[in-house]
Amino acid sequence: MADTKYVLEMIDICKEFPGVKALDKVQLKVRPGTVHALMGENGAGKSTLMKCLFGVYIEDSGDIFINGVKSKFSNPKQAMDNGVAMVHQELNQVLQRNVMDNIWLGRYPGKAGVVNEKDMYDETKKILDELEIEVDPRAKMAKLSVSQRQMIEIAKAVSYNAKILVLDEPTSSLTNEEVNHLFKIINKLRDKGCGIIYISHKMEEILQISDDVTIMRDGKWIATNPAKDLTTDKIIKLMVGRDLTHRFPPKTNKPEDVILKVKNLTGTYQPSIREVSFELKKGEILGVAGLVGSKRTELLETIFGIAKHNDGEIMLHGKKVDNTDSRRAIKNGFALLTEERRANGIFGQLDIKFNTMIANIDGYSKYGVLDNKKMTEDTKWTIDSMKVKTPSQKTLIRSLSGGNQQKVIIGRWLLTNPEILLLDEPTRGIDVGAKYEIYQLIIDLANKGKGVIVVSSEMPELLGICDRILVMSNGKVAGIGDADKLSQEDIMTMAAKYI
């Protein structure tokens, strides 16, 4: 029997997929008017549990109660109609439509099939004003920033009068100022009695915003504690089942001679990068810091040939390289791991084997025939060397956790034998245990003589694994220095230089 003091109870939830027991008698109890953090390493079962709640998956056994009433949803529409809303880490919106279309899609206000545009505008404006979201209801979604689009998803949840709101890695792409605004909105919803499930790997945020914390490991419930009784060290120990005394592996790489020179690189289409110059040494890890909008991603995309440049040059081993597109960049020894792995990093409908070998497809082809044996061997190498948790090579990559997807993509690029690795937010949305493994992979690559450039929004990460840090501000280089001589304050000061 459910306890009505909880807005949500998930009791003994079990879910199996072929070869994997994803959930094993998991418990989750959320009190109304609280923020309940859900934590665990990638692959712990957090997303699967939320998909059972949201009607994406049907649990094999167990019960779900909402305000004491037994509930079972067969699709997300049913869940939302019953006051359960979810803001996914990878936003799924109709970008060519406007804000109010996205909020009211499938339930437009009106009569006899005629949409009442005025009512829709007024209702949208009312919700946005209440949440202090300064966005025009008629603005096209494609014109909004990631943070604004995320706020619109929360506004959509409010429009459903959500009793339960799930936020999956809501701050992974936000600046500190945007995070503070998000927390303000969360506190407003909490004060109205909403039960908020907050999924994040950022320990400081969890301890700042949460009332209760539930920790999962390997598909099982491990503990639920008041946030005030927890510390970062306690959470990590519960998550990984062991003490993780060192957040970053020791830097064992030794930078050598200059391998890459970028001189006065300027993007074709403005706003973009402007007159960017720097050098990268063989075996060096160069961090790229900056605020949202500083054009860090554009820098990597221009080097890789995805974004065009009309001035400047890129030199590898003292010779000019012409990365006019990604295919040529790969042949020239460059590899790019993108920030939005679900949008442009993986082929979600296809298996691990395909996702592993796709960047090196020419290397498997002889007389127009693909060498299946070699592809199978290389996929096995990727799974083994990257420590990818998967039942088989034939598993769809979209069913893997974020950390395991990232490892497959890194393995994919290593098979092209690159000299320069461009990594854009390589640990975004990845738990503390998997982060450590990826840090070690990056350091190992530098040890093998690769030149590595890492864009990250997490300053402790840049300071922890990089040899030097280049700071971008409004498309220009604001400064560069040795990581062991820079502080977070130094980096922030430089990041604001050209704003």
Round to the nearest angstrom and report the end-to-end CA distance of the chain: 58
Cα 40 from Cα 199, distance rounded (Å):
9
Q: Is residue 296 part of a domain?
A: yes
Which token pair is 464?
């922890």
pLDDT bracket for residue 120 (50, 70, 90): confident
Rg of the chain over all Cα atoms, to the nearest angstrom:
24
Q: What is the pLDDT of residue 119?
A: 87
Q: Are residues 199 and 307 in the same domain?
A: no
Q: Are residues 80 and 169 in the same domain?
A: yes
Q: Is residue 3 part of a domain?
A: no
Q: What is the pLDDT of residue 137?
A: 92
> In which residue are the tokens 């990268």 written?
280
Q: Are residues 303 and 445 in the same domain?
A: yes
Q: Is residue 37 part of a domain?
A: yes
Condensed to tens digits (0 to 9), the pLDDT of residues 2-28 reads 556 899 999 999 998 776 788 999 999
Q: Please state at what angle helix 146-159 crosses helix 176-191, rounded to 10 degrees.
A: 10
Q: Are residues 158 and 285 in the same domain?
A: no
> In which residue are the tokens 């040939």 written?
305
**Does 382 have pLDDT greater than 50?**
yes
Mean pLDDT throughout 285-290?
95
**Does 225 have pLDDT greater than 90?**
yes
Condensed to tens digits (0 to 9), the pLDDT of residues 408-467 reads 888 888 888 899 999 998 887 676 777 888 899 899 999 999 999 999 988 888 999 999
Q: Are residues 330 and 449 in the same domain?
A: yes
Domain harbouring 281, CATH code? 3.40.50.300
**Does 343 have pLDDT greater than 60?**
no
pLDDT bracket for residue 228 (50, 70, 90): very high
Q: What is the pLDDT of residue 19?
A: 67
Q: What is the pLDDT of residue 389?
A: 83
DSSP one-letter code for 310: E
- Asked which of 25-29, 132-136, 178-182 is least confident by mean pLDDT, the reply is 178-182
Q: Are residues 235 and 286 in the same domain?
A: no
Condensed to tens digits (0 to 9), the pLDDT of residues 39-55 reads 987 678 888 899 999 99
* Single-letter residue type at 199: I
Determine contact, residues 46/213, Cβ cutoff 8 Å. Answer: no
Judging by DSSP bridges, how do beta strands 451-455 and 420-424 pair with one another?
parallel
**Does 296 have pLDDT greater than 90?**
yes
Cα 396 from Cα 346, distance rounded (Å):
10
For residue 255, is the peptide bond before it cis, meaning its omega torsion is within 30 degrees of 0? Answer: no
| Final residue belonging to a domain, choices 240, 269, 294 | 240
Neighbours of 478 (CB within 10 A): 20
Q: Are residues 132 and 21 in the same domain?
A: yes
Q: Are residues 231 and 281 in the same domain?
A: no
Condensed to tens digits (0 to 9), the pLDDT of residues 253-265 reads 999 999 999 999 9
- Asked which of 236-250, 346-360, 428-442 is least confident by mean pLDDT, the reply is 236-250
| Final residue belonging to a domain, choices 240, 268, 301 | 240
Angle at 343 between CA 340 and CA 345, to 5 degrees: 70
Condensed to tens digits (0 to 9), the pLDDT of residues 70-92 reads 998 999 889 988 889 888 776 77
pLDDT bracket for residue 1 (50, 70, 90): very low
Q: Are residues 297 and 367 in the same domain?
A: yes
Q: Is residue 371 part of a domain?
A: yes
**Does 190 have pLDDT greater than 90?**
yes
DSSP one-letter code for 395: S
Condensed to tens digits (0 to 9), the pLDDT of residues 203-213 reads 888 899 999 99
Q: Is residue 249 part of a domain?
A: no
Mean pLDDT throughout 190-213?
90
**Does 244 have pLDDT greater than 60?**
no
- Asked which of 62-66, 182-186, 292-296 is least confident by mean pLDDT, the reply is 292-296
Q: Are residues 206 and 130 in the same domain?
A: yes
- Please provide the average confidence, as pLDDT, over all residues in the chain: 87
Mean pLDDT throughout 328-353?
81
Helix H, strand E, coil C: the string for 56-125 is CCCCCEEEEEECCEECCCCCHHHHHHCCEEEECCCCCCCCCCEHHHHHHCCCCCEECCEECHHHHHHHHH
Q: Is residue 286 part of a domain?
A: yes
Neighbours of 118 (CB within 10 A): 9
Q: What is the pLDDT of residue 295?
A: 92
DSSP one-letter code for 475: T
Q: What is the pLDDT of residue 423?
A: 93
Instruction: Give every CB contact of residue 420 below 8 A, 6+ residues apart in sequence.
Output: 259, 260, 280, 303, 316, 333, 334, 335, 450, 451, 452, 453
Q: What is the pLDDT of residue 194?
A: 93
| Final residue belonging to a domain, choices 240, 269, 303 | 240
Q: What order of strands is seen across the sheet that includes strand 285-289?
A: 334-337, 420-424, 451-455, 285-289, 468-473, 476-482
**Does 482 have pLDDT greater than 50?**
yes
Q: Are residues 108 and 156 in the same domain?
A: yes
Q: How many separate domains does the chain show?
A: 2
Q: Are residues 277 and 320 in the same domain?
A: yes
Judging by DSSP bridges, how do beta strands 365-366 and 369-370 pair with one another?
antiparallel
Range of the domain at 447: 258-495
